[in-house]
Amino acid sequence: MTNNYAFENLKENMVKACGKNLNISPKQSIEICNYVRGRPLAQAKRLIQASIDMKVPIPFKRFTNGLGHKHGMAAGRFNPKACTEILKVIKSAEANAKNKGLNVPDLRLVHIATMTAPKSWHYGRKKRSVAKAAHLEVVLEEVKGLSQTKSGSSKTKPAEKQPVKK
């Protein structure tokens, strides 16, 4: 049986989740994936939720033809529908990590990718139209000490040098 994942080298400290035929635009999902890839899981979920709540827009760098500017960045957009679907797949991968016994605060988004799904036609009384769809895959990796470095670096102070007695 094939795994149908673009990510091949899955290690013991990694988990994966997949969303097939999601009713979202592939272009918007590519931009969202590029925005959260490589981030810690908690930060990625927080950024996506902020875009759903219309607080922080997703910066668009690739598909910017005719796209308006947002405050503090060049081109950007709020994508509540696409962000909701992507967040569901990320939460599914997080549940897989809990089931596998990995430490959830130490998870990082190693791989998140979008592929275009087969197009379906909407028929109706007027003209027909093409529906957009996308496949999404998410791979999370447990990085030892990821949660401690974030909290530990802000609390600890560098050691002061002691005067040397002669």
pLDDT tens-place values along the chain, 166 residues long: 445 667 778 888 999 999 999 999 998 899 999 999 999 999 999 999 999 999 988 888 877 777 777 777 778 778 899 999 999 999 999 999 999 999 999 999 999 999 999 988 887 777 888 889 999 999 999 988 877 765 554 444 455 555 666 5
Sign of CA dihedral 92, 55, 62, 44: negative
User: Can you list the domains of the chain with their CATH numbers?
Assistant: 14-144 (3.90.470.10)
The answer to whether the beta carbons of residues 130 and 123 sit under 8 Å apart is: no
Q: Which residues contact 153 (CB under 8 A, 6 or more apart)?
A: none
Query: Whose CA is closest to 60, among 21, 89, 33?
Result: 33
**pTM, to two decimals:** 0.80
